[in-house]
């Protein structure tokens, strides 16, 4: 296909970042350029910049993800940032959460093809799976929604003292200021803007980090989470 032919060779930085998983990263890039475009998961204009703007931009998120934690990639779409993160961090247990069937079908195919045994694909919306999925240490997201709305979906999925890591663009600081009140109500105790990918991507990837306290989602979600847990226990006893 023409779209696949436009995929540029992997830059040298990709070999360093993906290491022994470099061949899998190349295959993933090819899948995005072919099936990803054909199924409408990414635009054909993104193919020439898949490596710098998408794969590497997401892979460097690994710099700020703690070791050996559980991760939920909210609104995973075509697998960004979840799949690049999984390729460079086999110590993580990652859930790719996506509501659309055509996207979860693609994600399942990629996970199986690349042998990502530490990755699970779940179809659903964040607000629907709370209480059904175990709370995670880290929630990731990229280009899903403005920060205040994203936080209402992602933060309730966290375990106490977890963190949400959102890949954002030039408006990160402004979004964080605008969302300050909403984040506080959702149980955020610390926020920051980080820049990662030195020597790998230019410009650097911008990450908004939102750390929560003992009540992720705040008071509003505490009762909802407890009710979901009770329902889950009742179902298991049947």
Q: What is the pLDDT of residue 106?
A: 98
Q: Name the residue among 88, 139, 98 with its Cα closest to residue 121.
A: 98
Q: How far apart are CA 150 and CA 77, in angstroms?
A: 14
Could you tell me if 92 and 118 are in contact, meaning their C-beta atoms sit under 8 angstroms apart? yes
Q: How far apart are CA 74 and CA 44, in angstroms?
A: 23
Helix (H) or strand (E) holding 18: helix 12-18
The reported pTM is 0.91
Is the bond preceding residue 81 a cis peptide, omega within 30 degrees?
A: yes
Q: Name the residue among 210, 208, 209 with its Cα closest to residue 170.
A: 208
The strand pair at 119-123 and 188-196 is best described as unpaired
The strand pair at 188-196 and 136-142 is best described as unpaired
Helix (H) or strand (E) holding 185: helix 180-185
Helices (H), ranges, 20-145: 22-31, 37-38, 56-59, 82-88, 101-114, 126-129
Could you tell me if 72 and 140 are in contact, meaning their C-beta atoms sit under 8 angstroms apart? yes
137: DSSP letter: E
List pLDDT tens digits, range 47-91. Answer: 999 999 999 999 999 999 999 999 999 999 999 999 999 999 999
Angle at the Cα of 88 from the Cα atoms of 85 and 92, rounded to 5 degrees: 65
DSSP bridge pairs for 165: 140, 209
The CA–CA distances, whole Å, from 79 to 22, 28, 82, 103 equal 17, 10, 5, 9
Q: How far apart are CA 7 and CA 167, in angstroms?
A: 23
Helices (H), ranges, 46-100: 56-59, 82-88
Give the CA-trace dihedral at 181, 184, 188, 193, to 10 degrees.
Answer: 20
Q: How far apart are CA 220 and CA 217, in angstroms?
A: 7
Coil vs helix vs strand at 184: helix
Q: Point out the residues of the chain with pLDDT beneath 70.
A: 1-5, 219-238
């Amino acid at each position: 296909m023409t779209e696949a032919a436009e995929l540029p060779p992997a830059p040298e930085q990709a070999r360093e970042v993906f290491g022994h998983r470099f061949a899998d990263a190349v295959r993933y890039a090819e899948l995005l350029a072919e099936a990803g475009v054909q199924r409408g998961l990414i635009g054909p204009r993104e193919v020439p910049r898949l490596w710098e703007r998408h794969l590497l931009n997401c892979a460097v998120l690994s710099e700020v993800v703690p070791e050996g934690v559980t991760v939920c990639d909210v609104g995973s779409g075509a697998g960004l940032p979840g799949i690049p993160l999984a390729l460079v961090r086999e110590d993580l247990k990652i859930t790719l959460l996506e509501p659309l069937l055509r996207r979860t079908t693609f994600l399942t195919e990629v996970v199986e093809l690349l042998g990502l045994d530490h990755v699970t694909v779940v179809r659903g919306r964040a607000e629907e799976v709370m209480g059904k999925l175990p709370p995670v240490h880290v929630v990731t997201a990229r280009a899903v929604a403005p920060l205040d709305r994203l936080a209402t979906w992602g933060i309730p999925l966290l375990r106490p003292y977890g963190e949400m890591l959102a890949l954002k663009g030039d408006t990160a600081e402004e979004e964080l200021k605008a969302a300050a009140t909403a984040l506080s109500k959702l149980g955020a105790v610390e926020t920051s803007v980080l820049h990662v990918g030195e020597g790998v991507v230019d410009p650097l990837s911008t990450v908004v980090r939102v750390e929560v306290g003992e009540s992720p989602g705040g008071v509003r979600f505490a009762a909802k989470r407890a009710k979901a847990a009770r329902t889950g226990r009742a179902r298991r006893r049947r």
